[in-house]
Amino acid sequence: MAFYVVQFLTGLASAASLFLVASGLSIIFGVTRIVNFAHGAFYMIGAYIAFTLTERFSGAFGFWGGVLVAALAVALIGVLVEMVLLRRIYHAPELFQLLGTFGLTLMVEDLVVLIWGPDDLVGRRAPGFKGAVDFFGQNIPSYDLFLIALGPVVLGILWLLFQRTRWGVLVRAATQDRDMVAALGVNQKWLFTSVFAVGVFLAALGGALQIPRDAVHHAMDLRIIVEVFVVVVIGGLGSIIGAFVAAVLVSELNAFGILIFPKISIILVFLVMAVVLIVRPWGLFGKPEAPARKTPGLTVNPWRPLTSNERLAALAALVIAATLPLFAGNYALTVGSEIAIFVIFAVSLHFLMSVGGLASFGHAAYFGLGAYGVAFLAKMAGLPMIVCLLLGPLLGCMGAAVFGFFAVQLSGVYFAMLTLAFAQIVWSIAFQWVSVTGGDNGILSIWPEKWAASPSHFYWLALGVAALVTIALRIAVFSPFGYALRATRDSVLRSEAVGINAKRIQWTAFVIAGTTAGIGGALFAYLKGSVFPDNLGISLSVDALVMVLLGGVETVSGGVIGAIVYKALNIWLVSQTDLSKLVLGGFIVLIVVVFPKGIVGMLELLAQRRRKSSPPGSSLLAKPIESTE
Amino acid sequence: MKLTVQDLNSHYGPAHILFDIGFEVGEGEVVALLGRNGAGKSTTFRSIVGLVAQRTGRIMFEGKDVSACPTHEIVREGLGYVPEERRIFTDLTVEENLEVGRQPKRPNAPYWTREKLFTLFPNLGEMKGRPGGRMSGGEQQMLTIARTLMGNPSLVLLDEPSEGLSPKIVEQMVDAILTMKKEGVSIVVSEQNLHFARLISDRAYIIERGRICFGGTMAELDARPDIRDAHLSL
């Protein structure tokens, strides 16, 4: 019995840090609508700076002062980030801020290694809380007791801050209607900056307080950010009490999951999150969001099929790409194949995001399922390659059909989080079901047959499939189905009012996107000759998101360009520098600031300007932008 | 002149909404902006306070050109805005809603305290702690006006204050607006309801398809039934 109580208390102690970080994320999202991916990075910097300060300055004052100063210093960094980066992109397309903060995270990961080195750093114990308390023969670290008490205290302080101060009232008002707050004379800029500072302070404090419990290392950002997303979604975005309850829930699930369900301990929290989202999509303490009031005039540039000239240009580009084997070596061809495969992957997500308005955070699940599908068919059933390539993606299709059915019941951030949860579940199955999937060792030696084995042949295969997939999806965009899907994206209510079954249309789109991703995964399995759980992992899902956003969500061909640029740059950077993450992150941040509409969006804007400037003085109505000369 | 709008043009994306809008409001005047649904009344107001991103033209408020200022600075100059859809903060209580609107005292404008506003809108005084979401439409409309008055504006843009309200509440609204006028607040009120406008306004402009097509006193408008019928009646 005593053992369980201790386990429970350990869970509560872990919850404290988690709550601090999650409440910060929740507050920032509530007001700025930014899903701050860099929140984990701020948590990590908080831990590193606190480590340095507490090592340098001794005594109780040195420790507690160091923790506090570290959190304040990181809050200051947060202010800088908000003013330099985020302020420029508040009006960018949804999720673009996610890309910017993701770029920051990449940069921070390399920077902390540069500054503090790659090794784990073990910090010193907290003065006054070095010992342990005896509880019926079980030891409870007294620092844990301190953390257990800290959680509710912080909750209370935050509650007072939001309920009892003018700042809190303004923040709560801005959470609901930002424009109206500005129309009452409140300077949103500083309100946003201060909210961001408070949120980052909480994240950094959470990190700094971890040092007596855990070693500081350069991967702690990703580990916490996923957990924090889960907490915030279960608790309800924007709800601080929700963040508290969910942090306790998640920590206890982690503490007891290992004891009770060791086999599925990793996915337990994701299962709970999926159930919560399906039953109460807005989280335990959140409020259902009113259908978003869309700012008119966001899609200035209506889509159209390519003109015949543009078709010729696209064809020419494809032909040029097809001549690569004539002059390039094997390495370049393998890279080319990989890029082609990622074009398929990115195009499929782009279809879901830009046409369907559904931003999946777990799209790699279907890519990876396609890869595993091929692996099962080739290794276990021993089927020929063509058959495997045709049937393998069906596993992605089935996964998308099952998960998509639940996911499309939600929208926006909640949709994104549920897809993330599903992807994590699939990943954990691949990771833990060793007898079938080989677990972490993956499934090896899945090589293409002779006809596709040479790098040039495989390259042509990948390129051909990528071209076909892109064309097929483009046709879908301009088909009646595509128009219906775009209608549900623009307004679910209105599209249902004209007789469109919105959920079914979205579900279909989800399955199409998942199957297409599966095709990419199937080819990927043959390219690499192996399948690993990482092929379904979060980082691959994030890669896909970055590619789409980089190319431009509000465009039709953003996925293709984004995949080529991102993947090529990524592969090249890794071969050129040890600081590839720093450079890549910097590049992403730069793109976000300079071209907030993505690469293709920027090109379209330039083309428009040229077209618009030619007939001077014509009014906009007389000459619609989409008209072609 | 309290407020002078010149050559105001606004766009939503590629759509041109307002065409060379121009009008004036004198010190202490109540001016009606009349027009049918979709004529451009709300867009005019939103453009004046800077909530429409794509707009050109000159907006002079108390002799200062505010057309380049961000929304909150325009409002802080003393130009209050009461939006059409009420847009109260439903999670916040009545008192908290008022707190969001609070701005420092201004030398050239009447000073409103909570107590004074609760005398103007007695209903609000009886539900200080109630969340905005649990109020009737009329009470919400009063709250939006009171909230804007907490900023001590010298001029208020009132967007369709009578819309969707019961006749009894409309009467209270007329009283409230006349009290505001008596205190010295200049008011621009947009309306479809000519009867309501006549009760409170000194002058009127008519807007149709984004253009001003009439400007004059209420008496001048009454003398031109042709204009009234062409642009206002349903």
Of A176, A183, A298, the CB nearest to B91: A176
Return d(Cα A540, Cα A527) in angstroms, integer. Answer: 16
Is B89 in contact with A187 (Cβ distance < 8 A)? no
* A92-106, A137-151, B88-102: least confidently modelled range: A92-106
Closest-CA residue of chain B to A177: B89
Is B99 in contact with A298 (Cβ distance < 8 A)? no
Residue of A90, A171, A184, A188 for testing the chain B interface, max B β-carbons within 10 Å: A184
Of B12, B16, B51, the CB nearest to A183: B51
Of B73, B87, B99, the CB nearest to A166: B99
Is B100 in contact with A297 (Cβ distance < 8 A)? no
More confident residue, B30 or A381: B30
Is B76 in contact with A185 (Cβ distance < 8 A)? yes
Residue A382 contacts B, CB cutoff 8 Å: no
Domain definitions of chain B by residue range? 3-231
CATH architecture of B3-231: 3-Layer(aba) Sandwich (3.40)
8 Å CB contact between B102 and B177: no
Residue A137 contacts B, CB cutoff 8 Å: no
Q: What is the mean pLDDT of residues B196-220?
A: 92
pLDDT-based confidence at residue A613 (cuts at 50, 70, 90): low
Whether the predicted pLDDT of A297 surpasses 50:
no
Chain B, residues 133-162, CB within 8 A of chain A, namely 147-148, 151
Residue of B71, B85, B128 for testing the chain A interface, max A β-carbons within 10 Å: B71
Whether the predicted pLDDT of A150 surpasses 90:
yes
Whether the predicted pLDDT of A622 surpasses 80:
no
Return d(Cα A483, Cα A478) in angstroms, integer. Answer: 7
CA distance to partner chain B, nearest, from residue A92 (Å): 14
- Residue B132 to residues A172, A281, B231, Cα–Cα distance (Å): 13, 24, 36
Return d(Cα A306, Cα A386) in angstroms, integer. Answer: 32
Whether the predicted pLDDT of A508 surpasses 80:
yes
Residue A180 contacts B, CB cutoff 8 Å: yes
- Residue B228 to residues A482, B35, B208, B219, B225, Cα–Cα distance (Å): 46, 10, 12, 12, 5
Of B11, B54, B87, the CB nearest to A177: B87
More confident residue, A450 or A69: A69
Which pLDDT score is estimated for A298? Answer: 45
Residues of A in contact with B75 (CB under 8 A): 182-185
Helices (H), A433-454: 434-437, 450-453
ipTM: 0.92
Residue B56 contacts A, CB cutoff 8 Å: no
Residue B35 contacts A, CB cutoff 8 Å: no
CA distance to partner chain B, nearest, from residue A182 (Å): 5
Return d(Cα A546, Cα B21) in angstroms, integer. Answer: 44
Residues of B in contact with A620 (CB under 8 A): 11, 14-16
Residues constituting chain A: 629
Is B100 in contact with A173 (Cβ distance < 8 A)? yes
- pLDDT tens, A317-343? 999 999 999 998 899 999 999 999 999
Residues of B in contact with A181 (CB under 8 A): 100
- pLDDT tens, B149-187? 999 999 999 999 988 888 888 999 999 999 999 999 999
CA distance to partner chain B, nearest, from residue A34 (Å): 21
Helix (H) or strand (E) holding B3: strand B3-12
Is B75 in contact with A185 (Cβ distance < 8 A)? yes
Who contacts A477 (Cβ-Cβ below 8 Å, separation ≥6)?
A: A303, A351, A355, A486, A556
Return d(Cα A378, Cα A431) in angstroms, integer. Answer: 20
Whether the predicted pLDDT of A620 surpasses 50:
no
What are residue B5's DSSP bridge partners? B23, B59
CA distance to partner chain B, nearest, from residue A112 (Å): 39
Whether the predicted pLDDT of A145 surpasses 50:
yes
Residues of A in contact with B101 (CB under 8 A): 184-185
What are residue B215's DSSP bridge partners? B205
Helix and strand numbers, DSSP H then E, in chain A: 29, 2
Q: Residue B58: phi, psi to the nearest 5?
A: -115, 135
Q: What is the mean pLDDT of residues A58-67?
A: 91
Who contacts A11 (Cβ-Cβ below 8 Å, separation ≥6)?
A: A248, A251, A252, A254, A255, A256
Is A180 in contact with B54 (Cβ distance < 8 A)? no
